[in-house]
Amino acid sequence: MSTENLRPVTVLVGAGAIGTAIARRVTNGGHVVVADLRLANASMVREQLLDAGYDAEATTVDLADADSVRALAAHAADLGPVMKVILSGGVSPSQAPIETILRVDLYGTSVALEEFGKVVAPGGSGVVISSQSGYRMPALTREEDALLATTPVEELLDLPLLAEGAITSTLHAYQMAKRANGLRVRANAVTWGKRGARVNAISPGIVITPLARDELNGPRGAGYRKQLELSPAGRAGTPDEIAALAGFLMGPEAGYVNGTDVLADGGVTASWYYGPLSEGGAN
């Protein structure tokens, strides 16, 4: 189908607060495809967008299923030129077992980067919402980085460094997935660039969303609150702050920025390595 004279399309994968805030910021006069594992979540965000004057539709996607991701990319391309791609779907260490975290956050994001890299329009841009957790893991070797960045997606989960026993906990799985997100973005920037498009990542710290509020008041809440208290910012972030950064990265002013990951955590990681949150810090 020809996309000439059709409205530009924004694809939002993951109907969470951060992704929704980004979609509202980067969509002007276009059509938003809101995709989530649960149609009820996508429909709720669609209604919010409609109430705010946007044109939107709701559908489902399963990041753990490559065929589902391909179908979403094809559908979006049929609607018009795919100009904005927001990949914000995933699961947290407290939500799922190791296998699911790797399957969704690592494999699923990798598939989506590849499939939307085939349909994104010239001048288009994408952003992956990763996490500060990717910066907490010890450095990998150059060879391991290359494997996470470039291994074909259908072979990715068979890598020895992702095998059972190599991943020691759900948090470790999450950190590995988020480390890989940045590496896959860097590699996919090359293929997206061939279509005249760009893709970057953002690694937020603790951002206040419904899930984050639950986490802050849950079993691990004390540790998260300590992170915030001892960070330079001294507070959590907001979805609108991440959306402002995404708006810059996806807009024309960042036309020379491609294949990078921006850490936006209020300085938590800085404090983790060099401040009061470090092992030698004044805890």
Q: Which two three-digit tokens encode residue 104?
A: 């969704």
Beta strand 261-264 pairing with 198-204: parallel
Q: Which residue out of 178, 194, 256, 274 is catalytically annotated?
A: 178
Of residues 14, 16, 15, 18, the one with CA closest to residue 204: 18
Which region, left, alpha or beta, applies to residue 165 given φ > 0 means left and ψ of -120 to 50 means alpha? left
- Is the CB of residue 89 less than 8 Å from the CB of residue 81? no
- C-alpha 125/C-alpha 10 separation (Å) is 10
Closest by alpha carbon to 124, among 199, 34, 225, 188?
199
Give me the catalytic one of 84, 174, 226, 273.
174
Q: Which residue has the tokens 């997935």?
A: 177
Instruction: Check: CB of residue 11 under 8 Å from CB of residue 84.
Output: yes
Cβ-based neighbours of 187, under 8 Å, separated by 6 or more: 149, 150, 259
Judge whether 194 counts as a catalytic residue: no
Are the beta carbons of 112 and 36 closer than 8 angstroms?
no
How far apart, in whole angstroms, are the C-alpha atoms of residue 190 and residue 196? 10
118 assigned to active site: no
Q: How many CB atoms lie within 10 A of CB 155?
A: 9
Q: CA–CA separation, 161 vs 181, rounded Å?
A: 15
Helix (H) or strand (E) holding 98: helix 98-101
Residues recognised as catalytic: 174, 178
